[in-house]
Amino acid sequence: MKRSRLSVALGLVLTLLAGLGTAQALETTSFDLAPVNATCLSGATGSVIVFHKEDSLGVDTLHLQVRGLPGNTDFAVFLTSADGFATPPFGVTNDIGDFTTNAAGIGSLKVDAIINEAFVTTPGNPRTRTDLDHLVFWFADPAQVPGCFNFVNPTPFDGDGNAGPAAMSSSGSTGPARARISTRARARGRSRGSLPTASVSCSARWARRPAVSGSGTSSAAC
């Protein structure tokens, strides 16, 4: 009898755990970042993963991880309508967060916001919509820009309006809002973008990425 009760209890626990795992399966968009000035930041690498949670929780979650940057340096992160390699670059922008690298040049950032369907509208009749489907981050402090950038004129890409040049950017069609496949769109039988998404367990997917230190968050949970 005790063995039978134990088996039933174990079965219930496994069923609950399976349900939790299914509930955490989310569509994601992931892409790499490249240095805008490959000569000065030749060892810099970066990656971003966006967990699509807006339909269920009201916001998405973006995780950014970088390494190979100057140590103890501040950066300002923006969603943009064009990447740093376009002509002209950047387009319209929206500041979503800041991070600081550690002494080894490693940093990370977690942002809870609408990412996958981020956009701005421009006054007019009618108003026009511009999608923010790329990501770029800038040196937040002109005094921290490496000399090889030959940087002279400050840029406005920080909260105080005084920043350095762009450091890293998404490239081409890999911006975070390219995969516009929401549950609402699927229910209507249509999608609004071209980048494929993956459906994964958020905790398991992020745990496979190497842990980094620095400011921001590198939690395994999405």
CA dist., res. 166 & res. 145, Å (int): 10
pTM: 0.73
For 89, counting Cβ atoms within 10 Å of its Cβ (0-12 exposed, 13-18 middle, 19+ buried), the class is: middle
CB-side neighbour CA atoms (13 Å) of 30: 15
Q: 3-class SS at 106?
A: coil
pLDDT digits (tens, 9 = 90+) for 46-80: 999 999 999 889 999 999 999 999 999 999 999 99
pLDDT digits (tens, 9 = 90+) for 95-148: 999 999 999 999 999 999 999 999 999 999 999 999 999 999 999 999 999 999
pLDDT attached to residue 15: 55
Domains in the chain, start-ordered, CATH in brackets? 25-207 (2.60.40)
Q: Is the pLDDT of residue 1 over 90?
A: no
Q: What angle do CA 71, 115, 161 make, to 5 degrees?
A: 50
Residue 172 confidence class, pLDDT cut points 50, 70, 90 = confident
Cα separation values, 78 from 82, 122, 125, 133, 188, Å: 11, 18, 27, 10, 31
Check if the beta carbon of residue 163 is closer than 8 Å to that of residue 151. no
Q: Write out the two tokens for 3.
A: 């063995």
Residue 26 confidence class, pLDDT cut points 50, 70, 90 = confident
Helix (H) or strand (E) holding 120: strand 119-122
Averaged pLDDT for residues 19-24 = 49
Give Cβ neighbours of residue 217 (< 8 Å, ≥ 6 apart). 63, 108, 109, 110
